Amino acid sequence: MSDLSDLHGIFPTSVRWNAEQGFLSAAIYDPTTGGRELQPFEFGQESTFAMDLATRMRGYGMIRVGVYDMRLTPVSEPPPPWGNDLAEFKAALGCWLWHPAYGELRLETCATTFRDAIAALWQKALGAPEAVEGQQPVIRFVDKVAIRRETLKKVHYGPIIHIVGWEKRNDIPGWRDRAPTVAPPAAPVVLAPPTPPAAKIAAPKSKKGPAKPADPDDDLPPSKR
């Protein structure tokens, strides 16, 4: 987080996922061209980031050639109002990441494949006891998975992301200076284990003695016994 990070017109280095080819990259500003150059990450250690759950945002976005428009609010607040001006927008989300080589990075996306993967990652992380304590997940992009998009008649690739650790938020450079906008999740309710069914008491066995041996004369008529 720099002294200019919160100024209009200052765009942080962003993280992007290419769903058609299945790779992750950082969009680095090139002052010589005035544009951004994509620097791909290798899956594994190089694609490891701290993720700030305490500043998660969601809303609506539109990204196309020459247009980048994100209308996001913290998840602790109502979403941006929907109107006719958002008719071509899609559901979007955003959060801050930190990388050892690039520092702070911004993740914002309205692309279905990447958005759904990050939303699922949020849900998984928020269920961990470390999140209840206010710690932030360390995530790693480890591979890609093919996803058939029937409506598009093509195959896209989604990221496979693992949580590989947790860090205290104030230990991440720059995050101490950014106030959280979302409180840590509440501790999950622990339900009492179900009461096992009462054991059935077996009926006492009869204490009858051994059966009396059959008398061979029983089959004879009385006159011949």
The 10s digit of each residue's pLDDT in 25-51 is 999 877 777 778 899 999 999 999 999
Q: Is residue 198 situated within a structural domain?
A: no
- Please determine, for residue 220, whether its predicted confidence score (pLDDT) is greater than 60: no
pLDDT one-digit tens code per residue, 47-75: 999 999 999 999 999 988 888 899 999 99
> Is-contact 1 178, C-beta < 8 A?
yes
> How high is the pLDDT of residue 8?
47
Kindly give the pairing relationship between strand 135-149 and strand 154-168: antiparallel
pLDDT score, position 35 = 75
- The per-residue pLDDT for 212 is 59
Q: How far is the CA of 33 from the CAs of 29, 37, 86, 134, in angstroms?
A: 9, 9, 32, 41
Q: Is residue 60 part of a domain?
A: yes
Residue 78 · residue 99 · CB < 8 Å = no
Mean pLDDT, residues 101-108: 95
Domain membership flag for residue 111: yes
Position 195 in a domain: no
Residue 218 lies in a domain: no
Query: Do 110 and 102 touch, CB atoms closer than 8 A?
Result: no
Predicted confidence (pLDDT) per residue in 107-128, tens digit = 999 999 999 999 999 999 999 9
What does pLDDT average to over the chain? 86
Is the model more confident about 124 or about 2? 124
Could you tell me the CA-to-CA distances from 3 to 12, 51, 170, 174 in Å, in that order? 12, 21, 18, 10
Q: Which domain holds residue 88?
A: 14-177
Q: What is the mean pLDDT of residues 102-111?
A: 95
Closest of 114, 113, 95 to residue 105, by C-alpha:
95
Q: Is residue 220 part of a domain?
A: no
Q: Is residue 72 domain-resident?
A: yes
Within-domain flag for 86? yes
| 77 token code pair | 């607040």
For the chain, the domain total comes to 1
**Cα 197 from Cα 209, distance rounded (Å):** 35
How high is the pLDDT of residue 23?
A: 97
pLDDT confidence band for 208 (50 / 70 / 90): low
The pTM of this model reads 0.78
What is the pLDDT at residue 153?
Answer: 83
AA letter at 104? E
